[in-house]
Amino acid sequence: MPESGNNTLILKGNIIYAKSPEELICSDRSYLVCEDGRCAGVFQTLPEAYAGIPVTDYGDHLIIPGLVDLHLHAPQYAYRGLGMDLELVDWLERVTFPEEAKYAEITYAARAYETFAEQMKQTATTRMVVFGTVHAEATLLLARKLSEAGFGAYVGKVNMDRNAPESLCEESATASFTATMDYLRKFTFLKAQGKISDRVQPIITPRFIPSCSRELMDDLGELARQQGLKVQSHLSESKKEIAWVSELEPDCDFYGACYARAGMMGNPVPSVMAHCVWSLPEEVQMMKEGDVFIAHCPQSNTNLASGIAPVRHYLTEGLHVGLGTDIAGGFSRSIFRAMADAVQVSKLYFRYVDQKKQPLTLSEAFHMGTMGGGAFFGNVGSFLPGYEFDAVIIDDTGLASVLSMNLAERIERVMYMPELCSVTAKYVSGERVL
């Protein structure tokens, strides 16, 4: 038992967290201890060592690890739930690109990102891996807003030097690369000034292969390697997109190989790839070897009629899988909803694609939305000792009924009906942010 001091925080309530994809730990009216921003343990009776330290008692509320959103686009927040009749490539051209172009104007970006950060703060999400736009200034502003709202986040200025409308396309690979260098420099400067917290970091963000020339990809990959940066992008989302990639990059045997050629498919560069709906066996093998994270975005993949990612297969293969809302391919900002969506589409996959692939369980979905995605941030997403202390307090009295329910039942209902619950408090790395 570590000695307890000023940096100790103790919460009491109904504690629920994942220990593994198969094991959900539920501990009624227990104590959750934080020491120096990290979990020190969950106890049914408070150990002697902590006697005298004030306990914040959340009564019958639920205490769970903060949720992790591995993939979303902040500039698309303003119009989520619009244009849902379109497929990926059409949707990008008709809805997304014209809107993202507006972020060249910093006052527009400020209004939109202020709303984004404030509204996301009310959700159970504590960590996110997020796309901005190609605009460095607007994306730095996004990083500041997320920092002020207390999030842990990787925030990426997007790179696009081809196949984008004039208003968004960067002039050349060099121009795009230079803008990213500028973004990174200013990011460091804002951190030094204390305007961006240590929990918010930049990330290299080529939009996807159709938007990035080989030269640009090579330069960005080299940069990530040299500066120890992580990478986020999109991979094998829709069949039309995949056909386009193979037309653009005939030298790559498959989509993921284009990222690999630039050194962006994992080790030594940590990467997260959104979607992976149609990944070929070679691509899956490559992700496995590179410890690449998959951001599973079930709602977006349904909305854009892309398909259903074979998550059961990925889990069996031991790949790293987390969840993403993919705002605004997904309309919902809730990772609880993403958990429910993941279970739901896995049932349709089972029914229509492969009856040997068992649907995902509640516990697997909860794990993906916390510990699974959290691993991209380090020891994040659980209350196991040593994990960063991200905790969310959930009031689920809106779900009360004539039946009394145990904690596993209550968290299942929260997952399916998060709109009837509220987040009453939130901690990130031990700091109270809501």
Residue 202 or 298: the one with the smaller Cβ distance to a second copy is 298
Question: How many Cβ atoms sit within 10 Å of the Cβ of residue 304?
Answer: 26
What's the 3-state SS for 274-323?
EECCCCCHHHHHHHHHHCCEEEECHHHHHHCCCCCCCHHHHHHCCCEEEE
Report in angstroms how near the CB of residue 111 gets to a second copy at its nearest.
5
Report in angstroms how near the CB of residue 89 gets to a second copy at its nearest.
15
Residue 114 or 317: the one with the smaller Cβ distance to a second copy is 114
Report in angstroms how near the CB of residue 45 gets to a second copy at its nearest.
30
Is the distance from CB of 423 to CB of 392 less than 8 angstroms? yes
Q: Which residues bind a second copy (CB under 8 A)?
A: 77-82, 84-85, 99, 108, 111-112, 115, 299, 302-303, 305-308, 331-332, 343-345, 347-348, 350-353, 359, 361-362, 399, 401-403, 405, 409, 412-413, 415-417, 419
Residue whose C-alpha is closest to residue 284's, from 262, 308, 309, 252:
309
Residue 84 or 248: the one with the smaller Cβ distance to a second copy is 84
Residue 93 or 182: the one with the smaller Cβ distance to a second copy is 93
Is the distance from CB of 114 to CB of 146 less than 8 angstroms? no
Report in angstroms how near the CB of residue 197 gets to a second copy at its nearest.
25
Report in angstroms how near the CB of residue 213 gets to a second copy at its nearest.
31
* Cβ-proximal residues to 55 (8 Å cutoff; 6+ apart), any chain: 10, 11, 12, 31, 46
* Cβ-proximal residues to 395 (8 Å cutoff; 6+ apart), any chain: 61, 421, 422, 423, 424
Residue 36 or 93: the one with the smaller Cβ distance to a second copy is 93
Residue whose C-alpha is closest to residue 235's, from 286, 278, 203, 282:
278
Residue 221 or 307: the one with the smaller Cβ distance to a second copy is 307
Q: What one-character DSSP code corresponds to residue 426?
A: E
Is the distance from CB of 25 to CB of 16 less than 8 angstroms? yes
Report in angstroms how near the CB of residue 168 gets to a second copy at its nearest.
17
